[in-house]
Amino acid sequence: MEQIGILEGRQKQVFEKKTGTTQADIACDTSSLSGSVSQRACVFCGSRVVLYPVADALHLVHGPIGCAAYTWDIRGAVSSGPELHRLSFSTDLQEIDVIYGGEKKLYQSLIELIDKYKPKAAFIYSTCIVGLIGDDIEAVCRKVAKETGIPVLPVHSEGFKGTKKDGYKAACHALMKLIGTESTEGISKRSINILGEFNLAGEAWMIKDYYKKMGVEVVATLTGDGRIDAVRRAHGASLNVVQCSGSMTSLAKEMEEKYGIPFIRVSYFGIEDMSKSLYDVATYFSDCPEIMEAAKGVVREEVTTLYPQLQKFKKALSGKKAAIYVGGAFKTFSLIKALRSIGMSVVLAGSQTGNKDDYRRLKEMCDEGTIIVDDSNPVELSKFILEKEADLLIGGVKERPIAFKLGVGFCDHNHERKIPLAGFEGMYNFALEVYQSVMSPVWQFAPRKGGLK
């Protein structure tokens, strides 16, 4: 087979773990190489994913139609009440607006939409073109907020002004403007916010339930099953628990600075990290030992049910090899542990937005010979999947067809999934999904596996 090379401009973003040699740090945190077919999206995407689950807000995309059309009902982020977030609103800018400016259209759209849908707040996303034609979005937002009496928040998410991470920041910036605008009366001292949990397939509800059993109040989940009023009270919590570290650490830092709320980083994927995320919260509230007791109780109960259920999968999957390519690096840490707990090893671990610390840690965790990659692309991913003979790829929609074309199992671990993979129950679902894909008899027909004829 023909050798697949790696583009010169990308060689420092890929390495294979070899102990006993000095390996330079991976290059990361840079914008994608032109023409490299990055799996990343843009600034707008970063903002949109973070704010998307706020269910009682109006999300208006200011720009031509594409950005709104491609993000209509895109996430599996569910709401227990209003579902305004599942609609798609766009100013649908036309050539004439590009020439004469889109401020009037934006103003008119906002007035009409707020009147029709009665949202608790509105987020206005700037897209590429708005950054060029110079609409004064801030002014329009101020005017509409004054006239309608609801917060109208500009989100500076022009696609080209940075990477997805800058989009996260812009979203956090908008949230920060809401936080601190409501009374915190009645909030318990033993309370937390969960940051970076988006309630995909109801995951936030499961997690909140664990904390509730421990006697810990969850003031706001940012942004899963999100509500504007809850966001406004978030500064009343004693601790911020940050799950998707890439997207929400900046908000946690800002809240620490402004409100003195400390934060811890957690992950809800896999038994080990899920349990730790309960213990870490309990440790923080160590003045109340019952919380730790309750946390132990929750873990005991859940693991007692889960552990035997996983054995069937472990038996089948032992020795199988996985490749991971996801958005945030923090998720890869948990996935490596989760895969190990069902007998699988990891031959490729990569992310779209990891930083130097993430990759150092990843290197420590990984087995000898594992490929570690930042901001990869289909060509590279295929190369490594084939070279390392992976049996499974974990990724999102854009990675899925690569796996299936090559006759490799696939587990959807991105924001479109409909199955909860977080929490203890999620670990069962994860193992089941991996098992069902890797062990399927259909691969016997794949050319790579001999192509039965």
Partner 1 sequence: MSQETKETQMKHAKTATQNACKLCNPLGACLAFRGIENCVPFLHGSQGCATYIRRYLISHYKEPIDIASSNFHEETAVFGGSHNLQAGLKNVTQQYKPEVIGIATTCLSETIGDDVEGILREYRKREKNGTPMPILIHASTPSYQGSHIDGFHAAVRSSVKALAEKGATGNLVNIFPNMVSPADLRYLKEILGEFRLPYMMLPDYSETMDGGPWGEYHRIPPGGTPARAIATAGRASGSIEFSSTIEPSKSAASYLEESFGVRKHHLTLPIGIKASDRFFALLETLTERATPERYEAERRRLVDAYADGHKYVFEKRVIIYGEEDLVIAMTAFLSEIGITPVLCASGGKSGMLRKKIEEIVPDLDEKEIKVREGVDFVDIEDEAQLLKPDFLIGNSKGFTLSRKNNIPLIRIGFPIHDRFGGQRMHHLGYRGTQELFDRIVNTVIEQRQNASSIGYTYM
CA distance 248 to 222: 9
DSSP string of 336-389, one letter each residue: HHHHHHTT-EEEEEEESS--HHHHHHHHHHSPTT-EEEES--HHHHHHHHHHTT
Residue placing its CB nearer to partner 1 in the complex, 6 or 230: 6
Residue 343 tokens, joined: 């007998």
CB of residue 200 to partner 1, shortest distance in Å: 16
Residue placing its CB nearer to partner 1 in the complex, 68 or 216: 68
Residue placing its CB nearer to partner 1 in the complex, 8 or 364: 8
Q: Are 397 and 415 in contact, with CB atoms under 8 Å apart?
A: no
Is residue 379 a contact point for partner 1 (CB under 8 A)? yes
Is residue 446 a contact point for partner 1 (CB under 8 A)? yes
> Which of 405, 418, 440, 452 touches partner 1 (CB under 8 A)?
405
Give the β-pairing of 152-155 and 191-197.
Answer: unpaired
Is residue 402 a contact point for partner 1 (CB under 8 A)? yes
Residue 190 tokens, joined: 């033993």
> Which of 27, 133, 187, 303 touches partner 1 (CB under 8 A)?
133
Is residue 452 a contact point for partner 1 (CB under 8 A)? no
Residues 141-180 that bind partner 1 (CB under 8 A): 159-163
SS3 322: strand
> Which of 49, 55, 57, 129 touches partner 1 (CB under 8 A)?
129
Residue 79 tokens, joined: 């709401």
- Please choose, out of 143-151, 244-252, 305-313, 373-381, the segment that lies near partner 1 by the rule CB under 8 A: 373-381
Residue 104 tokens, joined: 């009037």
Burial of 47 (0-12, 13-18, 19+ CB in 10 A): buried
Residue placing its CB nearer to partner 1 in the complex, 98 or 439: 98
Build a one-symbol-per-residue string for 32-51: x at contacts with partner 1 by CB under 8 A, - elsewhere.
xxxxxxxxxxxxxx------
CA distance 13 to 29: 10
- By CB under 8 A, the count of residues binding partner 1 is 81
Build a one-symbol-per-residue string for 84-123: x at contacts with partner 1 by CB under 8 A, - elsewhere.
--xxxxxxxxxx-xx------x--xx--xx----------
Is residue 65 a contact point for partner 1 (CB under 8 A)? yes
